[in-house]
Amino acid sequence: MQFRVSPKTLGECSAEEWQARVDLAAAHRLAYMHDFSEGIFNHLTLVVPGRSDRYYQIPFGMHWSEVTASSFMEVGIDDGLVKSGAGDVERSCYCIHAPIHKALPQAKAVFHTHMPYASALTRLEDPRIKEIGQTEVGMSGEIAYDDEYTGPALDPAEGARLARVIGEKRAREMWFLCRLYDAETAERWGLVNAVVEPGELLPEALRWAQEMSRLSPTALRFLKHAFNADTDAQAGVSKLGMAALEIFSETDEAREGAQAFAEKRQPDFSAYGRLK
């Protein structure tokens, strides 16, 4: 593999960051060598070491055979903007990779390729690999299948959906095997927010609660219902809707509707903003 080192880029990186760039560049070159790429399409990304808010991505239009350690941009996970380097951020890359990096902190590297054999499998009516040999059995617990492909990802919601597909595999492993996992593994998998000593558990929980208590209770309430709506199916959506209705019932607009009904007249909503 040939390297073209940019002294400026090398000087701006820590040793860990530079090694991450070298490794990701090598992954692009190897993928090209083994026909795992489509020229300038597909995406290999890696979270910037020591950070959780940006990842490495090549500029759109760069051929995988030309990628070097100094090629990468640093892209913001939350906004998709270039934080370091130069080039265009390919939209589908951001919409797939950023939500996965964010939802699955343990997924430091996300490789999206259209490998010939895997691509051929996806064209079959039943693309699932049959567990007919030791290789297939050994890999079955590591493969997630997406049965809801709707086209190129142009919205981060698609990446969030894929993150749930990937996360479900871990959940199935935990439920089906009933293994015991230590706290460090749970933190690495993103199942817990922090790991503390037993004696620090209650004080740490109280610190979190005190920090939350200074924030808007209504905002927190809706955030809780919004998260639950995603995981509790119809019940979660119903709770979110009822919470919104309860708050609406305390507004002047709702009172005007109730009063007009009681007075048997048409309500006058002209003083309230229309839907936008």
Task: Write down the pLDDT at residue 73.
Answer: 94
The confidence score (pLDDT) of residue 166 equals 67
pLDDT along the chain (276 residues), means of 10: 50 89 95 87 92 93 93 93 91 90 85 85 85 80 73 74 69 67 76 83 90 80 72 61 77 86 88 64
Q: For residue 2, what pLDDT is reported?
A: 43
- Beta strands 43-47 and 109-112, pairing class: antiparallel
Residue 216's pLDDT is what? Answer: 77
Domains of the chain: 7-114+146-171 (3.40.225.10), 215-262 (1.10.12.10)
DSSP H or E stretch at residue 106: none
The candidate with the shortest Cα–Cα distance to 60, out of 34, 38, 93, 35, is: 93
Closest CA to 32 of 9, 62, 73, 75: 62
Q: Tell me the one-letter amino acid at 90.
A: E
pLDDT at 131: 81
Q: Compute the distance between CA of residue 59 and CA of residue 110 in angstroms, rounded to an integer.
A: 16
Coil, strand, or helix at residue 82?
A: strand
pLDDT at 4: 47
Instruction: Give one DSSP letter per residue of 137-204, joined into a string.
Output: HHHGGG--------SS--SHHHHHHHHHHHHHHHHHHHHHH-----HHHHHHTTSSS----GGGHHHH
How high is the pLDDT of residue 102? 85
233-248 and 217-231 are packed helices; what angle lies between their axes, rounded to 10 degrees? 150
pTM: 0.58
Give the pLDDT confidence score for residue 157 in this predicted structure: 75
Nearest to 76 by CA among 53, 46, 42, 106: 53
SS percent in the chain: helix, strand, coil, step 5: 50, 10, 40
- What b/e string do you get for 63-82 counting C-beta neighbours within 10 Å, with b at 16 or more? ebeebbbbbbbbbbbeeeeb
Angle at 174 between CA 170 and CA 176, to 5 degrees: 110
